[in-house]
């Protein structure tokens, strides 16, 4: 259940089989991909914690592939394997580090059993385990940061909400980003407790901000796996009621995902959440599975255009077409539409000119601790004329 996920990318079936077998014996849950075309779907479906990457594949230059992984902000640890000499391998490893990837090292092909076993074991020990997560939850080592969301329609520039984004403050270590532990929390059944913890923090902050005259809708990410619990709507309604907060102050953001397999049950839960007054956002729209079907079936009130399109919008016409289409779709279905990943003024202007209703991104504000939110908001309202 708790086995870390490892993805082997190698076009040579014999080598791939060998590495897969060694990794399985070292306690990983392994997926193998032999063609570049299959990588994207596999990364999305598996969220691997470790990738073993062959630097030379027929239809794929390993360096280009590292850039591709970096653009998608893949947080998995990467182990390079190649028949090239050590200087080339080291150069590729350094390049990966420069690009912001987490490089684990390099191995010379043909790969020696003992060497591979040793690296895999060391890596495994350095990955967080379900046990670590459980302790961290008991010791309340998680912090919630908040990223502002502004309105682009009237009145343009107003801060309307915050997205709650969890981080793990490991004792003696840095802040661990969510993508490095959320998949583990989902697999090990701890996502329930973790989400409860985040909600508890969020509701306390909403109350504190209101005391300072700040009215925000706060978006909380809900893993699709939680949409199996039929009592979820009543439970969340009770949580907000106890705090004297109306459900509309919370927006539950759900990533469209293959995990929504039990469509009838998911629909039941989402419909009751909406009937109780919670807002529902479909996160990362455009990247997952059957987006349109899910949107058609489920009672969402907002779609969030995935940041991969928004980050590209200034240089890529196709990304702009997708963004425009999402905005039109939202308008026609009478849904709000929020673009995430807005890093520049030009992107913000483009989104606004197409009729996007909300925006979120580093250009506006980075995720920050709750205590910084009031000061940031006051500062932003002074600058908000950049949007108007
Ligand atoms: P998400 O819900 O799509 O959140 C947006 C992510 O994009 C955040 O990453 C945010 O920091 C990042 N981002 C925002 N603006 C920009 C920008 O302008 N440029 C770039 N490059 N990135 C931007 P973060 O905080 O690392 O969170 C990653 C994901 O982890 C979230 O994606 C969400 O799916 C998940 N997550 C975070 N907190 C929770 C949680 O409490 N529960 C669950 N289940 N998932 C969570
Ligand atoms: Mg989100
Ligand atoms: Mg998103």
Residue nearest to atom 22 of ligand 1 (CA): 341
Chosen domain end from 126, 151, 186:
126
* Residue 24: CATH number of its domain: 3.40.50.2300
**Which tens digit of pLDDT belongs to each residue from 190-216?**
999 999 999 999 999 999 999 999 999
Verify whether ligand 1 is closer than 6 Å to residue 96 (CB atom): no
Q: What's the pLDDT score for residue 334?
A: 94
Residues 101 and 150 in one domain: no
* Same domain flag for 170 and 304: yes
Whether residue 148 sits in one domain with residue 97? no
| For ligand 1, mutation pick of 178, 225, 285 (most atoms within 8 Å of CB) | 178
Looking at the structure, do residues 173 and 319 belong to the same domain, yes or no? yes
Give, in order, the Cα–Cα distances in Å from 265 to each of 225, 226, 233, 268, 279. 11, 11, 12, 5, 18
Residue 92 pLDDT exceeds 80? yes
Please check whether residue 324 is in contact with residue 351, taking contact to mean a CB–CB distance below 8 angstroms. Answer: no
Rounded-to-integer distance, Cα 6 and Cα 77, Å: 9
Average pLDDT of the residues in 112-125: 93
Instruction: Say whether both 95 and 178 belong to one domain.
Output: no
Distance between Cα 177 and ligand 1 center (Å):
9
Q: What is the pLDDT of residues 311-361, one digit of tens each?
A: 999 999 999 999 999 999 999 999 999 999 999 999 999 999 999 999 999
Residues 66 and 101 in one domain: yes
| Length in residues, the chain | 388
| End position of a domain, from candidates 126, 141, 165 | 126
Domain total in the chain: 2
Asked if residues 10 and 52 have their Cβ atoms less than 8 Å apart, the reply is yes
Report pLDDT digits (tens) over 11-52.
999 999 999 999 999 999 999 998 888 888 888 778 899 999
At 60-83, the pLDDT tens digits run 788 888 998 888 778 899 999 999
Confidence of residue 287 (pLDDT cuts 50, 70, 90): confident
- Name the DSSP letter for residue 216: -
> Quick check: 258 pLDDT over 70?
no
| 163 CA to centre of ligand 2 in angstroms | 7
How far, in Å, CA of 112 to CA of 114, rounded? 6
Q: What is the pLDDT of residues 132-147, one digit of tens each?
A: 999 999 999 999 999 9
pLDDT at 260: 65
* Torsion over CA: 67, 326, 291, 343 (sign): positive
Its pTM stands at: 0.86
Picking from 79, 95, 126, the residue at the C-terminal end of a domain is 126
- The pLDDT of 151-171, averaged and rounded, is 92
Q: Is the CB of 342 under 6 A from ligand 1?
A: yes
The CATH number for 207's domain is: 3.20.20.450
Q: Do residue 136 and residue 210 come from a single domain?
A: yes
94 and 165 part of one domain: no
Do both 201 and 122 map to the same domain?
no
Residue 270 clears pLDDT 90, i.e. is over it: yes
Question: Which residue is it, tokens 């049950």?
Answer: 265
Considering the domain architecture, whether residues 45 and 114 belong to the same structural domain is answered as yes
Question: Do both 112 and 139 map to the same domain?
Answer: no
- Supply the range of the domain harboring residue 111: 5-126
Q: Is 298 exposed, middle or buried (0-12, 13-18, 19+ CB in 10 A)?
A: buried
As a whole number, mean pLDDT of residues 83-87 equals: 89
| Average pLDDT taken over every residue of the chain | 91
- Residue 58 has which token pair? 């027929």
Which region among 1-10, 90-99, 245-254 has the lowest average model confidence (pLDDT)? 1-10
Same domain, 90 and 151: no
């Amino acid at each position: 259940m708790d086995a870390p996920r490892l993805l082997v990318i190698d076009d040579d079936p014999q080598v791939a089989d060998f590495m897969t077998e060694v990794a399985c014996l070292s306690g990983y849950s392994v997926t193998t991909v032999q063609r570049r075309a299959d990588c994207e779907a596999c990364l999305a479906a598996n969220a691997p914690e470790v990738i073993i990457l062959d630097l030379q594949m027929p239809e794929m230059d390993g360096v280009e592939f590292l850039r591709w992984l970096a653009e998608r902000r893949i947080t998995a640890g990467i182990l390079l394997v190649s028949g090239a000499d050590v200087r080339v391998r080291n150069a590729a490893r350094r390049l990966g580090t420069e690009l912001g990837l987490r490089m684990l090292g390099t191995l010379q092909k043909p790969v020696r059993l003992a060497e591979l076993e040793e690296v895999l074991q060391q890596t495994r020990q350095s990955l967080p385990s379900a046990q670590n997560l459980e302790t961290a939850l008991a010791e309340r080592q998680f912090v919630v940061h908040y990223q502002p969301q502004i309105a682009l329609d009237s009145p343009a520039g107003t801060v309307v909400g915050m997205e709650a984004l969890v981080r793990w403050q490991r004792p003696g270590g840095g802040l661990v980003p969510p993508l490095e532990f959320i998949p583990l929390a989902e697999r090990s059944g701890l996502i329930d407790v973790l989400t409860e913890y985040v909600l508890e923090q969020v509701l306390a902050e909403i109350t504190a901000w209101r005391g300072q005259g700040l009215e925000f809708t706060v978006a909380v990410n809900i893993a699709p796996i939680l949409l199996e619990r039929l009592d979820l709507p009543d439970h969340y309604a009770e949580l907000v009621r106890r705090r004297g907060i109306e459900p509309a102050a919370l927006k539950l953001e759900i990533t469209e995902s293959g995990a929504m397999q039990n469509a009838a049950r998911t629909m039941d839960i989402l419909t009751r959440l909406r009937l109780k007054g919670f807002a529902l956002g479909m996160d990362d729209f455009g990247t997952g599975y059957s987006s349109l079907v899910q949107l058609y079936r489920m009672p969402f009130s907002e779609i969030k255009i995935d940041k991969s399109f928004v980050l590209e919008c200034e240089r890529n016409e196709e990304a702009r077409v997708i963004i425009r289409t999402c905005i039109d779709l939202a308008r026609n279905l009478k849904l709000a539409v929020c673009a995430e990943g807005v890093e520049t003024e030009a992107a913000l202007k483009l989104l606004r000119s197409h009729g996007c209703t909300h925006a979120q991104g580093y250009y506006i504000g980075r995720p920050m601790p709750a205590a910084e939110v009031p000061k940031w908001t006051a500062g932003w309202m002074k600058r908000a004329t950049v949007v108007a």
